[in-house]
Structure 1
Amino acid sequence: MQVTLSMITLRLCPVLLSLLTCSPHLLAGEVAQHGRLQVQGNKIVDESGSAVSFAGMSLFWSQWMGQFYTKETVAWLHTDWKVPIVRAAMGIEAGGYLTNSIREEEKIRTVIDAAIANDMYVIVDWHDHHAELHSQQAAEFFGRIAATYGASPNVIYEIYNEPLDVSWTNVLKPYANTVINAIRKHDPDNLIIVGTPRWSQRVDVAATDPIEDANVAYSLHFYAGTHKDVLRQQAQEALDKGIALFVTEWGTVNATGDGEVDTDSVNRWIAFLQSNQISHLNWAISDKREGAAVLQPASSPFGGWTDEQLTESGKLVRQLIRSWAR
């Protein structure tokens, strides 16, 4: 049988040419448009120097909702929800990375690879409340991730999810410098996000003694039912002092993760984020029976969710993300 070039192309397309010919949508994502993200003053900007603000989704603790750490979930979020950025929340304690390091790291790498394949940004999150006790493990983990993915502009490092009420200057900043140094040995310029005291709320405290690295932002977390004007005032103080903020986690409900959606408070927060061009990721891709979950119980771990399979929070957040000007 005579073999033609077109026949070869058809046979190779699923494996070798998918990025070029079979899946053209993969070339039209946010990373292709914006490139590597950088901190400039109190804003995060793209390679052209234009301020950017993304609305995305966070996955749940990896050890408890690991079924959603699939390439299909990431692809569905990108194509249906129009999510430009996803957060892989690697649980550390309570059966997470400290106990099952290989298993949990594999989940994170699956999400990273899927995000890159869909031309999305991905936040690699050390999801811990006591990371200062695990600085060696964190530095080793982020060093490996940076060695593998540091050349990819898709990857953002979140080195501490939510510190408790501990000292910024004496505890959190030294921890951050240790982990940042491990990353910078392999990746000199990708964005790093640093957690702040009191569940990543006291960004105003961090702003008084910032990290020296040129491409660091600071995480701000809020839950609309609990955190309102006072936290926004603290965030504004931090911005006024010149640091860049990144809301790597926010919820539509109470800080417990449960309760009713506080629509009025959500709207106030969204207005604040829009006016200050702050990126934000909602908590969480989960089918747990609680208000913050965006999915109904027993939802598919491979996407394809109908409106009926979304919770009240899920419907609100999906609409918000799809309509976000970015």
Structure 2
Amino acid sequence: MRPARSVLLVAALLLLGLVLTPATAQSAPTTSRTPTTPSAPTAPTAAASPVASNGQLKVCGTKLCNQQGKAFQLRGMSTHGLQWYSQCVTSGSLNALATDWKADVLRVSMYIQEDGYETDPRRFTDLVHAAIEQATARGMYVIVDWHMLDPGDPHHNLARAKTFFSEIAQRHRDKNNLLYEIANEPSGVSWSRIKSYAEQLIPVIRAKDPDTPILVGTRAWSSLGVSEGANESEVVANPVNAANIMYTFHFYAYSHRDEYLQTLSRAADRIPVFVTEFGTQNYAGEGANDFAMAQRYLDLLAAKKISWVNWNFSDDHRSGAVFKQGTCAGNGPWAGTSPLKPAGVWIRDRVRTPDDF
């Protein structure tokens, strides 16, 4: 997501049995029935969890497959930037995501600039470690999102990425529930430049962790080039020289119409694609929801077994944040529809019962 950029850094992050204990945060940049208020759910049992059922994922052909080699679609949510909205990622909120929402996957969004990783690599790496452990305890898959955004050239952060992913891969290499997203939304650079970055970083990760799928950002804010006048053909003709990888696609339904949808459809027949971020609003994650267009995308994703993650699991004031303002500061309630904005109600339904729509 391409955000506005005026924020105040979260003052303190305390670990008190939560992933990231509630703290005061200001509105952050963007990159959304009848109310119910059930009691907070408990974490799922291992036998019932997505990871227990599907095990180590791998890329097979153009699909993401489970340990039995069957094409498998992950559905879940992305956190907002940990530097602003760590207070939305708690034991209670993750219990709700795993059991009430029945999500398969949590994307842990760690910004690099914008008061993120580069300001304190140790602290932010530890926040990611903590989030991985909490999601793992609930039987969910975890996307470790290297949320580079501005500058748009991933090479700007290559040395940092090598340091970060080396540690993450070393510590979590024995887990079977991770995916590494190595470049959130490259922009203003050629596909060959992004490919070069991936081909320098992937061997560093593979030296520590040979099995975890790796997700590679595509040109023009992970639009497969569409937002800068290109399309999927450049990736199809010149893929990254690595195995067990997928290419990311991001869309915001109000802004990204048929050209984007058709590009995604064509690409998915030629290369492995994972939608690691989408919203029902405009590309800034704000404004009116276009649920009809978003449903067209989800129908395509279901038909082609393309995994997806929605932006975002926070109480930011924008319509793309699923929780109403104040939910995170009040530590819930998290479950049911009462704490959710319209986009939250809509996406929760699709995470819970994807085949009913």
**TM-score, with normalisation over the residues of structure 2?**
0.81
Equivalent residue for 1:135, pick from 153, 158, 162: 158
Cα distance 1:223–1:172, how it changes in 2: closer, same or farther (>3 A)? Answer: same
Q: Does 1:318 align with 2:348?
A: yes
Structure showing greater radius of gyration is 1
Q: Does 1:39 align with 2:59?
A: yes
Equivalent residue for 2:119, pick from 94, 99, 118: 99
Cα distance 1:28–1:206, how it changes in 2: closer, same or farther (>3 A)? Answer: same
Cα distance 1:44–1:23, how it changes in 2: closer, same or farther (>3 A)? Answer: closer
The one-letter code matched in structure 2 to 1:289 is H
Q: Does 1:26 align with 2:49?
A: no
Equivalent residue for 2:251, pick from 222, 225, 233: 222
The one-letter code matched in structure 1 to 2:175 is S
CA contact (8 A) 1:91 1:97 kept: yes
Counterpart position of 2:5 = none
2:97 and 2:298 mapped to 1: Cα distance? 20
Greater fraction of residues in helix: 1
In the TM superposition, what whole-angstrom CA distance separates every residue of 1:156-177 from its partner, at most 9, and x where no partner exists?
Answer: 10001001131111x1011111
Counterpart position of 2:328 = 300
Q: Does 1:210 align with 2:239?
A: yes
Equivalent residue for 2:198, pick from 176, 193, 209: 176
Counterpart position of 2:81 = 61
Counterpart position of 1:237 = 266
Cα distance 1:61–1:28, how it changes in 2: closer, same or farther (>3 A)? Answer: same
The one-letter code matched in structure 1 to 2:194 is L
Cα distance 1:303–1:177, how it changes in 2: closer, same or farther (>3 A)? Answer: farther
The one-letter code matched in structure 1 to 2:180 is Y
Select the structure with the greater relative contact order (CA < 8 A; seq sep ≥ 6). 2
Counterpart position of 2:305 = 277
In the TM superposition, what whole-angstrom CA distance separates every residue of 1:262-290 from its partner, at most 9, and x where no partner exists?
Answer: 01101111111111110100000111111
Aligned length: 303
1:161 and 1:72 mapped to 2: Cα distance? 27
Counterpart position of 1:255 = 283
2:263 and 2:117 mapped to 1: Cα distance? 32
**TM-score, with normalisation over the residues of structure 1?**
0.89
CA contact (8 A) 1:81 1:321 kept: yes
1:164 aligned counterpart, secondary structure: coil
2:43 and 2:187 mapped to 1: Cα distance? 44
CA contact (8 A) 1:69 1:108 kept: no
Equivalent residue for 2:97, pick from 53, 63, 77: 77
Question: What percentage of residue pairs aligned between the two structures are identical?
Answer: 37
Cα distance 1:106–1:181, how it changes in 2: closer, same or farther (>3 A)? Answer: same
1:44 aligned counterpart, secondary structure: strand
TM-fit CA distance, 1:308? 2.4
TM-fit CA distance, 1:23? 7.3
Across the aligned residues of Structure 1 and Structure 2, the Cα RMSD in angstroms comes to: 1.7
2:346 and 2:53 mapped to 1: Cα distance? 27
Q: What aligned pairs does 1:109-120 form with structure 2 within 5 A after superposition?
A: 109-120=129-140
Gaps of 5+ in 1: 1-21
Gaps of 5+ in 2: 1-41, 226-231
Cα distance 1:41–1:24, how it changes in 2: closer, same or farther (>3 A)? Answer: closer
Mean CA deviation greater in 295-304 or 267-276: 295-304
1:322 and 1:291 mapped to 2: Cα distance? 20
Equivalent residue for 2:176, pick from 153, 167, 173: 153
